[in-house]
Amino acid sequence: MLLLIIMALSRSLPPADAPRARCCPWSGTPQGIPAEPGHLPASARVELSDYRSEILVLPGIALAIMAVLSLAAGWVIAGRMLRPVRTMAERLQQISDRNVHERLAVAGPRDEFKDLADTVDGLLDRLETALDGHRRFVANAAHELRTPLTVEHALLEEPLIDPDATVEAYRASFERLIAASRERGQLLESLLTLAGSEHGRGRTEPVDLAGLAEQAVRDRALGLDRHGLRVRKMIRPARMLGDPTLIRRLVANLCDNAVHYNVPGGMVEVATRLTAGQALLTVTNTGPVVPPEEVDRLFEPFQRLRRVADDAHHGLGLSIVRAIAVAHGAVLTAHARPGGGLTVEISFPAMS
């Protein structure tokens, strides 16, 4: 390209005259004119100097023209190449929490821009799921917190509207108020635990999973006897790295769930073991029949198979279990037992 520009410029110059041709070293030295510039006549030296100046000016002009053409071509090409990026940026600026369901949906052949758009759409999918879960959680939490407030208001109002209320009536109302306040405190504690476990685990240190399972069964001995439940323990050594406080809460929640959602004379089975570099915790319980399609829903916040009023349970136990498992990089699987009840297995990375 540069050579073509130089040739075009050279053709636009006036043709060289005879004296200039005679002075050029490569054209020979006819008529006895010496080839050395120092021995040329004054007029020939001037012509030779002018010719050399033209030879030096032509590439400079050609380079300047080439630079302008290159900048113009680069600007056009870059604009065409970056147009999809600008389009995607404009569409992303229009997406907010109100229309997070919208997607870029870039069509065309598979290339870098298509891959980038698909990646952004995947991110928007995950963001929409998280926002929907957050909205459901806030709505459910508001509903659960409103229930004890309604009960407390009724308990406060009951003796006031009864002109014949006695000290015993006031005392009974206060006792029920204390129970409602304790229930609300447990709910708030569960909400804080759930928020903390979803944020991530705290300190990491060796955890004796088998020891925590043994302790959880011992701590619930009275509840097991009260419900007439049989306990089957298959606890073998299993150690892992994690947050001891959160893992203790996970084991306790699984055992509480197995005891509370059971049937009189039922069974609770707790097992730990090491296998294939994994520390396994399994808790199985008898109980009401759980439809297989409902199992996953039980691990969502405030979800219960059957809602029972004033049972002091808010449907947060299994959701906390799942959040703690995710924070520790564990794999949680659950399935309904054919005769009723649930089996939950959590696989933690074992200590190396």
- Over residues 135-157, the pLDDT tens digits come to 777 776 776 677 677 777 877 88
User: 277 and 312, same structural domain?
Assistant: yes
pLDDT over 80 at 219, yes or no: yes
- Domain limit, last residue, from 152, 170, 199: 199
- Domain limit, last residue, from 78, 93, 108: 93
| 222 in a structural domain | yes
| Residues 37, 18: Cα–Cα separation, whole Å | 17
Element (H, E) at 112: helix 112-160
| CA torsion angle 315 296 259 310 (round to 10) | 20
Phi, psi of 250 (to 5 degrees): -60, -50
Of 91-95, 182-186, 265-269, least confident by mean pLDDT is: 182-186
Sorting pLDDT into bands at 50, 70 and 90, what band is 54?
Answer: low
Q: What percent of the chain shows pLDDT beyond 90?
A: 28
Mean pLDDT calculated for residue range 191-202: 67
pLDDT at 283: 97
**Residue 292 or 165, more confident:** 292
| CB-based contact 288:253 (threshold 8 Å) | no
| 102 in a structural domain | no
Of the candidates 330, 333, 335, the one whose C-alpha atom is nearest the C-alpha of residue 347 is 330
Choose from 79-83, 225-229, 302-306 the range with maximum mean pLDDT: 225-229
User: 331 and 233, same structural domain?
Assistant: yes
| CB-based contact 104:117 (threshold 8 Å) | yes
Mean per-residue pLDDT over the chain, rounded? 79
Mean pLDDT calculated for residue range 178-183: 79
Per this entry, what is the length of the chain?
Answer: 352
**Residue 26 or 229, more confident:** 229
Q: pLDDT (tens digit, 9 = 90+) per residue, 227-263? A: 899 999 999 999 999 888 889 989 999 999 999 999 9
| 181 in a structural domain | yes
User: 223 and 166, same structural domain?
Assistant: no
User: 242 and 147, same structural domain?
Assistant: no
Sorting pLDDT into bands at 50, 70 and 90, what band is 42?
Answer: low
Phi, psi of 98 (to 5 degrees): -85, -25
| Residues 62, 64: Cα–Cα separation, whole Å | 5
The CATH number of the domain holding residue 274 is 3.30.565.10
| 20 in a structural domain | no
| 112 in a structural domain | no
159, amino acid identity: P
Of 27-36, 129-138, 325-334, least confident by mean pLDDT is: 27-36
Residues contacting 250, CB < 8 A, separation 6+: 320, 321, 324, 325, 346
User: 74 and 171, same structural domain?
Assistant: no
| 19 in a structural domain | no
pLDDT over 60 at 187, yes or no: yes
Query: Could you tell me the residue range of the domain that residue 80 belongs to?
Result: 1-11+47-93
| CB-based contact 200:327 (threshold 8 Å) | yes
Angle CA(274)–CA(276)–CA(279) in degrees, nearest 5? 35
Of the candidates 315, 260, 297, the one whose C-alpha atom is nearest the C-alpha of residue 147 is 315
Mean pLDDT calculated for residue range 10-27: 48
User: 194 and 209, same structural domain?
Assistant: no
User: 326 and 223, same structural domain?
Assistant: yes
Residue 344: helix, strand or coil by DSSP?
Answer: strand
- Domain limit, last residue, from 176, 199, 222: 199
Q: pLDDT (tens digit, 9 = 90+) per residue, 306-342? A: 655 445 566 788 988 998 898 888 999 999 999 899 9
Angle CA(141)–CA(318)–CA(259) in degrees, nearest 5? 115
User: 301 and 218, same structural domain?
Assistant: yes
User: 335 and 263, same structural domain?
Assistant: yes
Residue 23 CA neighbour count, 13 Å, CB half: 21
Of 35-49, 139-153, 209-223, least confident by mean pLDDT is: 35-49
Mean pLDDT calculated for residue range 39-61: 62
| CB-based contact 290:163 (threshold 8 Å) | no
Q: How many domains does the chain have?
A: 3
User: 285 and 270, same structural domain?
Assistant: yes
